[in-house]
């Protein structure tokens, strides 16, 4: 079999026609299109997964950095809410005293009486606990505390 110009050109023409037939096949184009879409979706998922991990790590790092900065500055995360709560209580007590149906002297007297009652209760409980402690020591050592 001789390879001449004519045979080579003929072979190239046949190859081009076969290639043209293959490329004009709709099934082939559909299959190629589906494969390209699948590969693109796979790459998209990989990128999203990696980006999500990187984004989460970045968010964690920035949160830690922010917390460290606040700690170094001496900022407190509980001070403002606590002061707001105590301020709200103070405003509520003040409004209650202002709009109370009793006079100022009666309110002060009631507050004074309640405070003394609470103080008496505390003293009684402390004395009971110390007496109980003394009697348990006496029972333990066998002495009456003398």
The verdict on 80 and 132 lying in the same domain is yes
C-alpha span between 89 and 93 (Å, rounded): 6
Residues 29 and 84 both lie in one domain: no
Tell me whether residue 12 is in a domain.
Answer: yes
Is there a single domain that holds both residue 56 and residue 94? Answer: no
Displacement of CA 19 from its chain's centroid (Å): 60
Residue at 1 is within a domain: no
Distance of CA 124 to the CA centre of its chain: 47
Is the pLDDT confidence value at 1 over 50? no
71 within a domain of the structure (yes/no): no
Residues 88, 50 share a domain: no
pLDDT per residue over 97-137, tens digit each? 777 777 778 878 888 898 899 999 999 998 888 887 676 65
**Are 55 and 83 in the same domain?**
no
Contacts of 94-97 spanning 24+ positions with Cβ under 8 A? none
> Which tens digits make up the pLDDT trace of 19-76?
887 777 788 778 888 888 888 888 888 877 777 778 888 888 888 888 888 777 777 6
- Asked if residue 68 belongs to a domain, the reply is no
pLDDT at 142 over 80: no
Measure CA of the first residue to CA of the last residue in the chain; give whole Å: 133
Q: Which domain, by its residues, includes 23?
A: 7-60
Helix (H), strand (E) counts: the chain? 4, 0
Question: Would you say 77 and 70 are in contact if contact means Cβ atoms under 8 Å apart?
Answer: yes
Same domain, 127 and 80: yes
- Alpha-carbon gap, residue 11 to 14, rounded angstroms: 5
Q: Is the pLDDT of residue 89 over 50?
A: yes
Strands of the chain (E only): list them.
none
Asked if the structure places residue 65 within a domain, the reply is no
Tell me if 70 is assigned to some domain: no
Question: Structurally, how many domains does the chain consist of?
Answer: 2
CA distance 87 to 71: 25
């Amino acid at each position: 079999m001789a390879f001449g110009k004519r045979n080579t050109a003929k072979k190239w023409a046949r190859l081009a026609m076969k290639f043209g037939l293959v490329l004009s096949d709709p099934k082939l184009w559909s299959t190629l299109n589906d494969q390209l879409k699948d590969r693109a979706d796979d790459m998209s998922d990989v990128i999203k997964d990696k980006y999500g991990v990187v984004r989460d790590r970045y968010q964690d790092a920035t949160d830690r950095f922010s917390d460290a900065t606040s700690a170094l500055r001496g900022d407190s995360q509980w001070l403002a809410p606590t002061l707001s709560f105590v301020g709200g209580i103070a405003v509520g007590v003040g409004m209650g005293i202002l709009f109370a149906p009793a006079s100022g002297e009666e309110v002060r007297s009631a507050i004074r009486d309640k405070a003394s009652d609470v103080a008496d209760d505390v003293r009684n409980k402390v004395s009971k606990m110390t007496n109980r402690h003394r009697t348990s020591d006496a029972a333990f050592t066998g002495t009456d505390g003398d």
